[in-house]
Amino acid sequence: MPRFIRGIQTSAAPRPAMGLDPPDKPGDDGNGGAERHTMTTPHTFALRGRTLAFRDDPFRVGPDAAVETCDDGAVVIADGRILEVGQASNVLARHPGVEVDSYGPDALIMAGFVDSHAHYPQLEIIGSYGEQLLEWLEKYTFPTEIKYSDPQYARAGAETYLDGCLANGVTTASVFSATYPASVEALFEGALERGMRIVSGKNMMDRNCPEALRDTARSGYDQSKALIEKWHGRGRIVYAVTPRFAVTSTFEQMEAMGALCASILPR
Ligand SMILES: [Zn+2]
């Protein structure tokens, strides 16, 4: 069972969805602050055990050069950011007196996994009989997603999903919510508390779905914009503008989403 040091900013932050860059944060230099912190602070500690670190792009330098493993490695963390990873003897010598949490030889200390596509409201229909996609949506998915208009129900579902991710080593995920802004807020609130990087957005559908799940080009635009302003860049949260797919979004809705993205993207 993986254990997690929650909210640690690793050097390999995923690309923001739709090109929306979170606002720059002080001290976020894109390499985990490794160049800035050289002094051991009271909030510094180390993990010791087998480590696996990703040093470069495997497509550019080849997999062997991109990955570094140490049988006796250490990760030094200060104020929630990784300072360095490497051979324990070398790394710990540079941080004398640092508190060390040893995991022993049977553990592997590495960055969290990234799930690039999930639907958190569908957790409770996993294993439903496999129809064709459209029948599956009508029979199982849409009736389930309607329940996520209730903020409390959504919050419970979000927590089950997020805790399930952490229990399986997933610390970053791109996740569909339901059409209701409350379903997005429930997910983001839970992610913020857990220090997870979650990419999500209000689902948009203005045709071919039950009335209770339907929005319009206008309401989809307004609700998405309000959610972006409230959530994008908070903690490790990234907002994704999320029309469900062509079957459930009119051309008018897709155009409205294009206009929303164009109004936000840097020129
Ligand atoms: Zn999907």
CATH number at residue 158: 3.20.20.140
- 72 shares its domain with 189: no
- 186 shares its domain with 252: yes
- 70 shares its domain with 122: no
CA distance 66 to 75: 18
Q: Are 197 and 238 in contact (CB under 8 A)?
A: yes
- 196 shares its domain with 140: yes
CA 175 to chain centre: 8
pLDDT band at 24 (very low <50, low <70, confident <90, very high): very low
SS3 at position 76: strand
pLDDT of 32 higher than 60? no
Higher pLDDT, 199 or 35: 199
Q: What domain count does the chain have?
A: 2
Residue 15 forms part of a structural domain = no
What's the 117 CA to ligand 1 centre distance in angstroms?
6
- 205 shares its domain with 99: no
| Domain end call among 110, 144, 159 | 110
- 154 shares its domain with 232: yes
Domain extent for 137: 114-264
- 62 shares its domain with 95: yes
Residue 11 forms part of a structural domain = no
- 143 shares its domain with 255: yes
SS3 at position 246: helix
What's the 245 CA to ligand 1 centre distance in angstroms?
9
What's the 124 CA to ligand 1 centre distance in angstroms?
15
CA dihedral 186, 189, 191, 192 (to 10 degrees): 170
What's the 175 CA to ligand 1 centre distance in angstroms?
9
CA distance 120 to 123: 6
Q: What is the mean pLDDT of the chain?
A: 87
- 202 shares its domain with 102: no
- 123 shares its domain with 253: yes
| Domain end call among 110, 134, 169 | 110
pLDDT of 220 higher than 50? yes
Q: Calculate mean pLDDT across residues 82-91.
A: 96
What's the 23 CA to ligand 1 centre distance in angstroms?
28
pTM of the model: 0.79
Instruction: Name the burial class of residue 239, with classes exposed (0-12), middle (13-18) and buried (19+) by CB atoms within 10 angstroms of its CB.
Output: buried
- 141 shares its domain with 253: yes
